[in-house]
Amino acid sequence: MTSKTVYLAVYPTFADWETGHTTAHLAQHGYAIRTVGPSLDPVSTMGGVRIQPDVSINDVHPGSDADVSMLILTGAELWDMGDELAPFARKAREFLAAGVPVAAMCGATAGLAREGLLDDRAHTSAAAGYLAATGYEGGRRYVDTDAVTDGDLITAGPTEPVAFAREVFGKLGVYEGEVLDAWYRLFHDSDLSAYEVLMAAEGAGVE
């Protein structure tokens, strides 16, 4: 079991449904999930859930903390309503520069596009046109698929929370190979045969 930290960005209009699979299974495998907000003030999600951030974005420094494993950025209406969330995109740049993975969904991908982080990396989002509207220069690297991993960057669209989780688990080594495939088939396709693979792996002590 690991004791490493994954930062989950939380901000007003945070899209609740996008990271439930990801954070639940990371926590079950020993990762500490710490919520990081614009400040320490409580925020309300798109679903009306009130969250008290554990830490402010200004106090997160991946290069100086060897226990940090990933930054997760979810969608939010605010990504398309101005620059209020730009500090999170800039923090993503800091994570990537430090060699720490970043995973972004939906509107967060537009934030990364505006920051120039998708210009030279394969990526996906809600739609190619959505990112093109940001004026970014990475359109040639857009991939029309459920989720994409390119080096330390993971991207996905708003309707792919299971594929997003799959990429995160694969990147962090939570599940691998046929076990990772079985996890995806169980939660995405309701394939009950995949459950047997997962239980067999758990019994053998394989993650």
Domains of the chain with CATH codes: 5-174 (3.40.50.880), 176-207 (no CATH)
Active site amino acids = 106
Minimum mean pLDDT range among 21-30, 56-65, 147-156, 188-197: 56-65
Least Cα distance to 195 among 177, 173, 179, 206 occurs for 179
Q: What is the pLDDT of residues 87-99, one digit of tens each?
A: 999 999 999 999 9
Closest CA to 152 of 187, 196, 120, 199: 120
pLDDT in tens, 130-182: 999 999 999 999 999 999 999 999 999 999 999 999 999 999 999 999 999 99
